[in-house]
Amino acid sequence: MQGSRHNVEPAKRSYQVNAVSRFARDCLNVLLKAILVLAIGLSGALGSLFLWYRPPFPMLPREALVAIFALVALACLLVLFTRKRRIAFILYGLAIAGLVFWWNLIVPLNDRDWEPSVARMPTGQVEGDWLTVNNVRHFEWRSVEKAEPERWETRRYDLATLRSVDLVINYWMGPHIAHPQVSFGFSDGSFLIWSIEVRNLRGQSFDAVSGLFKTNELVFVAGDERDIVRRRTNFTNEDVFIYRIAIGKERARQFLLEYVNDANRLAEGPRFYNTLTTNCTSVIFKLARAIGVAVPFDWRLILTGHLPAFLFDFGVLTKGYGLEELKKAAAVSARAARLADSPAFSRQIREGIPGISP
């Protein structure tokens, strides 16, 4: 009897080990299938959007391409738990490989039929303290879409007289989404404003989702404030705010030259705009490089309407005021609409903004 008990104990332990092993394998199998379902579902959704926005065969209806790809992804999901899953995986893998191949064939270009407002790319040259900027936009807007005359100018700026840097931010889709720009002021009263934008084709409109799929190139716009600011306050009816960025003259100069150098590189080698990774929020990274600090990850870099709060916490807005005080004083839309035709437009819309001398 004693020997029987000794034989039962190892058998029992072996059974328990095997049960645990089977349970672990079952759990791993479920986990792997869950990961596969998630991967197929996500890649199927992204692939369908890519085919919708950038179909590789323009002669075929994009609806048909999306439907075929979506059906292949769905079929792969349905047979995931059957013995035919290997064939489905091969077919789906080939479809994904085709999309990756097509993605890599799409390259950005500089010579396309652009909207007039982004038809030219600014470039700059520095000689000593003098900065020459080509293709400074100075349109006289008559409506949201129409400008007359359309002027592209070459302007010279004395970097020794650079006296200010301002964040110009306009809200075009609620309180959370905004477009940040940077304006550099000089002692002679001139301002050079930089805007990083989507470079639309003629007749094309911006779509945030399509901006993930290589549908638009990136463009730098260097312009006169009576063009860029006035258009947004007087014709697109956006809420525009101006905040003084408190950095020294040397860092302000470096900040400006960051724009010039990036614009020159973009003129030589075009890049795609990307809604998430290559967009107007690079303003913050240019500023960080100019003042020699690292930018921490922050949700306000994505919800750009909150950039003033981020910069306030970052310590580069006018000192001695609360954020709400700065925001109230920074609202310039009403003033800009009233002063639209004033020769001193830029100076007058800044009256009363903290940190800006009269």
- Give the Cα-Cα-Cα angle 26, 27, 30 (nearest 5 degrees): 85
**Given a cut of 80, is residue 7 above it in pLDDT?**
no
Q: Which parts of the chain fold into alpha helices (H)?
A: 2-53, 62-78, 85-105, 225-234, 249-268, 282-291, 307-314, 323-330, 333-338, 345-349
Q: What is the mean pLDDT of residues 303-323?
A: 91
Q: Mean of the pLDDT values across residues 22-46?
A: 84
Residue 169, SS3 per DSSP:
strand
Give the span between the Cα atoms of 295 and 285, in whole angstroms.
7
- CA-CA distance, 95 to 265, in Å (whole number)? 35
* β partners of residue 125: 132
pLDDT digits (tens, 9 = 90+) for 194-238: 999 999 999 888 888 888 999 999 999 999 999 999 999 999 889
Confidence tier at 140 by pLDDT (50, 70, 90): very high
For residue 13, is pLDDT > 60? no
CB atoms within 10 A of CB 77: 17
Alpha-carbon distances, residue 317 vs 54, 308, 325, 347 (angstroms): 42, 8, 12, 19
Token pair, residue 173, equals 């889709």
Q: How far apart are CA 98 and CA 184, in angstroms?
A: 47
* pLDDT for the residue 3: 52
Tens of pLDDT, residues 87-109 = 888 888 898 999 999 999 999 99
Compute the half-sphere exposure of residue 5: CA atoms within 13 Å on the CB side of its CA: 2
Phi, psi of 278, deg, nearest 5 = -130, 90
In the predicted structure, residue 137 carries a pLDDT above the cut 90: yes
Res 355 pLDDT > 90: no
Higher-pLDDT residue of 59, 313: 313
Global confidence as pTM: 0.85
